[in-house]
Amino acid sequence: MAARGSSRLLLDTIEELVAELPSRVRGSRERFSESALSALRGIADELNLVTRDELEELELRVAQLEHRLKLLERS
């Protein structure tokens, strides 16, 4: 039953985003509605997707660790 609710939420969100797309493509400065953003965040959380900030933080950490490893290898 929860899967059906998630599917309906996903479809509703997609429909809302598609409806908003033409104005955004034309250069409109309007942002997506809060309900659309909230629904997308919920779906992303449900799918265990990472945010851009989380990804950038991990990339930075990997780069730092690689640098430390190179320094240790030179010793």
Residue 24 C-alpha from the chain's centroid: 18
What letter does residue 30 receive in the DSSP assignment? P
**Buried (b) or exposed (e) across 57-70, using 16+ Cβ within 10 A?**
eeeeeeeeeeeeee
Q: What is the pLDDT of residues 23-74, one digit of tens each?
A: 665 544 456 677 777 888 888 888 888 888 999 999 999 999 999 999 999 9
Domain count, the chain: 1
Of the candidates 20, 19, 44, the one whose C-alpha atom is nearest the C-alpha of residue 31 is 20
CA distance 62 to 66: 6
The domain of 49 spans 2-74
- On whether the CB atoms of residues 30 and 23 are closer than 8 A, the answer is yes
Query: Would you state the pLDDT for residue 30?
Result: 54
Instruction: Write down the pTM of the prediction.
Output: 0.49
Query: Would you state the pLDDT for residue 55?
Result: 93
